[in-house]
């Protein structure tokens, strides 16, 4: 074998060994910068060139940037240059200046230079740019093949290192998410055990300080249109009402610049404001300052803060709902007690009055109501019959009704006329109740062994009197204005009627005549009541009352908007 052949064989072995060692070194590396740096140094050293550069393609921007650059006159590192390549160009392994003169001119390299394509099967990475040899000789075919082999190995190594780098980044993000989820899980367990809002605010504060390294923050809540601070730290002065209104008007995620138009945010160096929603309504706002490690707030931090804020928000909402439920439960208990007391104030059982058949009922539209009826025996063995309706419903009306009842029972034994007594009741109610509270009131006294009925009507729906043998009723209207509207200036008028066997009187409140049909387009009215009584007048008092209630329910489809009270008084035949 000649000495030239021996030399070529030694060169081949050297190049092969170099490739093997280089490939192992590059492929084992997981650092793209290390791979690129070694690729450039090895090729420049191997070929004895004085200029070398690596261009990395930026996907989507059609530009390249100089990742590594050696030699004067070429691009500096990180310089960018736009280059137009065809798909065929990017499939070419080696690009020479003679064919790609315009491209080489764009890059700013000599036409004697060579571009080696850095690519894998699926991706174009960039180019290795090598200037001419210091000896001005062209690269041999063997040298080009060596560099091509080296670029193939380097391209694979770069792709792998990029993949490993991305995987490490993903793993770090996954680790962070797992950590955040575990933190939120533990905090949710703590929050679920809490009902005290001060304790919730304290745990939220420690989570912000410990988990997020945030020293300056605030947590504001809007409950029933009242905005207030729930938790705060590092804030110079709490936000004013105007500041809170502005904070709630910000977007759900707002990164705050140093020159924000909100003075409160600038003064406290707040950098991020997050809105918190419940049932699609913003009812909470969290604002945070710079983190202890000076890092910016990325998507992961924003998501964590949103989740943490929502946990605290939901826990506070739960405590508010619990308070509301307990308050409602207490109110229900109090209303049930009031209902039982009110029921106890009504006569039960009804008294027995000689020569009379009686029936009476009170149906409240709520647990307690403002309708009232009563039967009171006087010292003269006469019987007082009363019915009243307090404006409004619920507890206020029931209290006023109870006061009226106590006044009636106090006046029953006193020897005063009905007109004087009605005037006294009116003045007491006028002087001791709000201006919007009134009472329609009717009362009468059955006397002379049930043959006389003297009455006063203070603005109440007139009771209906059906005489024996007559189909046209008489309305008992004599009296005066409703109780509590004005002081007594004129005496209340009274009237007296004779009661004969078979006569029938029906007393009622406006819940009867003002009952509405389901469409709420028509009222029951007095004429329907008269007709119902007319059809059932020959029945017992209880049967007449039942017929009235049944007829009202049929008309209104059992929908009741007001208290319903009736008294049926029938003279025995």
pLDDT score recorded for residue 179:
60
pLDDT score recorded for residue 528:
96
Which domain, by its residues, includes 15?
Answer: 3-165
pLDDT score recorded for residue 116:
92
Quick check: is 241 in a domain?
yes
Quick check: is 329 in a domain?
no
pLDDT at 482 over 50: yes
pLDDT at 176 over 60: yes
Quick check: is 436 in a domain?
yes
pLDDT score recorded for residue 7:
43
Residue 305's CATH number? 3.30.450.40
Residues 147 and 40 in one domain: yes
Token pair in block for residue 120: 């894998």
Residues 296 and 361 in one domain: no
Q: What is the pLDDT of residues 101-127, one digit of tens each?
A: 888 888 888 888 999 999 888 888 899
Cα end-to-end distance, the chain, whole Å: 153
Name the DSSP letter for residue 268: T
pTM over 0.75: no
Give the sign of the dihedral formed by CA 425, CA 428, CA 433, CA 434: positive
Dihedral angle of Cα 546, 549, 555, 560, to the nearest 10 degrees: -150
Quick check: is 481 in a domain?
yes
Residues 255 and 131 in one domain: no
Average pLDDT value for residue range 334-345: 67
Token pair in block for residue 313: 């928000």
Q: What is the pLDDT of residues 198-211, one digit of tens each?
A: 777 777 777 777 66
Residues 316 and 362 in one domain: no
pLDDT score recorded for residue 522:
94
Provide the domain count of the chain: 3
Greater pLDDT, 321 or 505:
505
Quick check: is 341 in a domain?
no
Residues 536 and 430 in one domain: yes
Greatest mean pLDDT among 61-70, 212-221, 317-326, 450-459? 450-459
Residues 490 and 372 in one domain: yes
pLDDT at 523 over 80: yes
Q: Are 164 and 30 in contact (CB under 8 A)?
A: yes
Residues 270 and 202 in one domain: yes
Q: What is the pLDDT of residues 386-431, one digit of tens each?
A: 999 988 666 677 777 878 888 888 888 888 899 999 999 999 989 8
Listed range (160-169, 214-223, 550-559) with the worst mean pLDDT:
160-169
Q: What is the pLDDT of residues 292-322, one digit of tens each?
A: 777 788 888 888 778 877 877 777 777 777 7
Residues 350 and 472 in one domain: yes
- Which one of 165, 183, 211 terminates a domain? 165
Kindly indicate the confidence band of residue 16, based on its pLDDT and cuts at 50, 70 and 90: low
Residues 308 and 390 in one domain: no
Residue 407's CATH number? 3.60.40.10
Residues 236 and 279 in one domain: yes
Residues 540 and 448 in one domain: yes
Dihedral angle of Cα 407, 411, 416, 422, to the nearest 10 degrees: 20
pLDDT at 77 over 70: yes
pLDDT at 355 over 60: yes
pLDDT at 342 over 70: no
Average pLDDT value for residue range 438-445: 94
Question: H-helix or E-strand containing 141?
Answer: helix 141-192
Quick check: is 458 in a domain?
yes
Average pLDDT value for residue range 269-279: 84
Q: What is the pLDDT of residues 237-257, one digit of tens each?
A: 888 888 888 888 888 888 887
Closest CA to 201 of 166, 165, 231: 231
pLDDT score recorded for residue 20:
58
Quick check: is 446 in a domain?
yes
Token pair in block for residue 430: 């006028």
Residues 240 and 358 in one domain: no
pLDDT score recorded for residue 536:
95
- Which one of 306, 321, 336 terminates a domain? 321
Share above pLDDT 70 across residues of the chain, in percent, rounded to a whole number: 86
Burial class of residue 60 in the structure, from the number of CB atoms within 10 Å of its CB (0-12 exposed, 13-18 middle, 19+ buried): exposed
pLDDT score recorded for residue 1:
45
d(CA 302, CA 274): 8
- Which one of 281, 305, 321 terminates a domain? 321
pLDDT score recorded for residue 529:
96
d(CA 312, CA 301): 16
Quick check: is 316 in a domain?
yes
Greatest mean pLDDT among 11-15, 389-393, 467-471, 543-547? 543-547
pLDDT score recorded for residue 255:
85
pLDDT score recorded for residue 14:
47
Average pLDDT value for residue range 53-74: 88
């Amino acid at each position: 074998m000649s000495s030239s052949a021996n030399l070529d064989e030694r060169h081949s072995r050297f190049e092969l060994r170099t490739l093997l060692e280089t490939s192992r070194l590059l492929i084992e590396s997981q650092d793209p910068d290390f791979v690129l740096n070694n690729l450039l140094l090895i090729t420049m050293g191997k070929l004895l060139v004085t200029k070398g550069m690596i261009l990395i393609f930026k996907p989507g921007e059609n530009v390249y940037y100089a990742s590594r650059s050696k030699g004067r006159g070429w691009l500096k590192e990180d310089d960018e240059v736009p280059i137009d390549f065809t798909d065929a160009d990017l499939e070419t392994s080696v690009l020479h200046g003679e064919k790609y003169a315009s491209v080489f001119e764009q890059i700013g390299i000599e036409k004697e230079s060579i571009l080696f394509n850095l690519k894998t099967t699926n991706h174009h990475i960039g180019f290795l740019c090598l200037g001419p040899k210091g000896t001005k000789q062209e690269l041999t075919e063997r040298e080009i093949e060596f560099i091509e082999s080296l670029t193939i190995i380097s391209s694979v190594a770069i792709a792998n290192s990029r993949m490993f780098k991305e995987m490490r980044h993903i793993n770090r993000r996954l680790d962070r998410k797992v950590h955040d989820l575990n933190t939120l899980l533990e905090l949710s367990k703590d929050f679920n055990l809490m009902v005290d809002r001060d304790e919730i605010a304290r745990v939220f504060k420690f989570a912000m300080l410990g988990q997020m390294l945030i020293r300056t923050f605030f947590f504001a809540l809007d409950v029933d249109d009242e905005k207030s601070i729930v938790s705060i730290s590092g804030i110079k002065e709490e936000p004013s009402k105007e500041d809170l209104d502005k904070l709630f008007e910000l977007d759900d995620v707002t990164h705050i610049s140093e020159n924000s138009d909100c003075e409160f945010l600038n003064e406290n160096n707040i950098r991020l404001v997050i809105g918190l929603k419940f049932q699609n309504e913003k009812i909470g706002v969290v604002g945070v300052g710079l983190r202890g490690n000076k890092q910016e707030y990325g998507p992961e931090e924003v998501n964590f803060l949103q989740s943490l804020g929502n946990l605290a928000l939901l826990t506070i909402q739960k405590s508010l709902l619990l308070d509301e439920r307990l308050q409602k439960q207490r109110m229900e208990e109090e209303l049930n007690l009031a209902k039982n007391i009110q029921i106890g104030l009504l006569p039960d059982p009804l008294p027995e009055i000689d020569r009379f058949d009686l029936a009476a009922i009170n149906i409240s539209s709520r647990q307690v109501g403002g309708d009232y009826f009563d039967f009171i025996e006087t010292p003269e063995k006469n019987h007082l019959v009363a019915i009243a309706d307090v404006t409004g419903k619920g507890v206020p009306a029931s209290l006023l009704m109870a006061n009226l009842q106590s006044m009636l029972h106090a006046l029953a034994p006193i020897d005063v006329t009905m007109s004087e007594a009605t005037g006294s009741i009116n003045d007491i109610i006028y002087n001791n109740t709000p201006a919007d509270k009134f009472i329609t009131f009717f009362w009468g006294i059955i006397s002379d062994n049930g043959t006389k009925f003297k009455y006063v009507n203070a603005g109440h729906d007139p009771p209906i009197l059906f005489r024996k043998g007559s189909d046209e009723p008489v309305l008992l209207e004599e009296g005066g204005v409703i109780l509590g509207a004005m002081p007594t200036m004129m005496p209340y008028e009274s009237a007296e009627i004779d009661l004969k066997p078979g006569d029938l009187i029906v007393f009622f409140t406006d819940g009867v005549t003002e009952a509405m049909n389901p469409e709420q387009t028509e009222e029951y009215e007095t004429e329907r009541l008269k007709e119902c009584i007319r059809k059932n007048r020959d029945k017992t008092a209880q049967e007449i009352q039942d017929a009235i209630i049944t007829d009202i329910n049929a008309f209104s489809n059992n929908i009741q908007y007001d208290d319903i009270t009736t008294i049926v008084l029938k003279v025995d035949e």
